[in-house]
């Protein structure tokens, strides 16, 4: 089965529409005020077919519920220090969750198991000093130590030349990939042609 393709950090209506037309599965909107890709207001177009994912960092439950309703979010992606109990509370409100974990060393996988049963997906990203992406790739081989049951999305520095490496990376819980800054012409504005070519390469291999 072809993996889930998630394009994250989108802000502009026509760009969102063009990316959705490529057949991607999920489109992410960042609701973290310190991010250059923060979604400040509802754009004129939101995905109709692709699932809408809202990305939050240590946000209050009340605000997440508000954004989920206002934007019609299919998934809530948590990128901060949210606890398993916090995830359980959101889950009890009917929200579907993606929990991000920052990885640089094998020990960064130690706490992942405490979230089992609370998330639909995990997202493994490159560890950075601040919250958010770095545009750099971590050592994917570390993930061979992950033996949990929750499927995951691979993130962190995936670029237009990553197709071969993605196809060569095998893990029974790999569900898809997350594309962001390496496919941009400016923060929040994706290069449609670059993503289209990348997806064609991914499908050919």
Tallying the residues shown for the chain, one arrives at 205
Q: DSSP per residue over 166-181, as a string?
A: HHH---TTEEEEEE-G
User: Which of the residues 38, 125, 139, 178 is marked catalytic?
Assistant: 125
Number of Cβ within 10 Å of residue 183's Cβ equals 21
Token pair for 125: 């990203």
Q: Which helix (H) or strand (E) holds 183?
A: none
Give the largest CA-CA distance in the chain. 44
Q: Is 125 a catalytic residue?
A: yes
Query: Strands 152-154 and 121-126: what pairing?
Result: parallel
Per-residue b or e along 120-147, where b marks 16 or more CB atoms closer than 10 Å to that residue's CB: bbbbbbbeeeebbbbeebbebebbeebe
The DSSP-derived string for 49-75 is SSEEEEEESS--HHHHHHHHHHHT-SE
Tokens of 7: 């394009």
Q: Which residue has the tokens 């993930």?
A: 143
The catalytically annotated residue of 8, 25, 87, 178 is: 8
Please identify every residue annotated as catalytic.
Answer: 8, 125
């Amino acid at each position: 089965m072809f993996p889930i393709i998630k394009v994250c950090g989108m802000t502009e209506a026509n760009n969102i529409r063009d990316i959705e037309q490529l057949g991607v599965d999920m489109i992410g909107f960042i609701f973290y005020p310190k991010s250059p890709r923060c979604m400040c207001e509802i754009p004129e177009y939101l995905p109709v077919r692709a699932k809408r994912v809202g990305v939050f960092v240590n946000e209050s439950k009340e605000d997440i519920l508000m954004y989920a309703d206002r934007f019609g979010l299919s998934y809530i992606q948590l990128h901060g220090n949210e606890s398993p109990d916090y995830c359980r509370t959101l889950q009890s409100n009917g929200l579907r969750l993606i929990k991000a974990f920052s990885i640089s060393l094998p020990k960064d996988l130690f706490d992942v198991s405490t979230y089992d049963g609370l998330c639909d997906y995990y997202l493994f990203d490159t560890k950075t000093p601040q919250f958010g992406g770095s545009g750099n790739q971590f050592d994917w081989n570390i993930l061979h130590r992950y033996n949990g049951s929750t499927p995951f999305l691979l993130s962190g520095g995936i670029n237009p030349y990553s197709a071969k490496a993605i196809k060569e990376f095998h893990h029974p819980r790999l569900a898809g990939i997350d594309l962001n800054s390496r496919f941009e012409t400016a923060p929040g504005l994706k290069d449609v042609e670059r993503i289209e070519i990348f997806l064609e390469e991914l499908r050919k291999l």
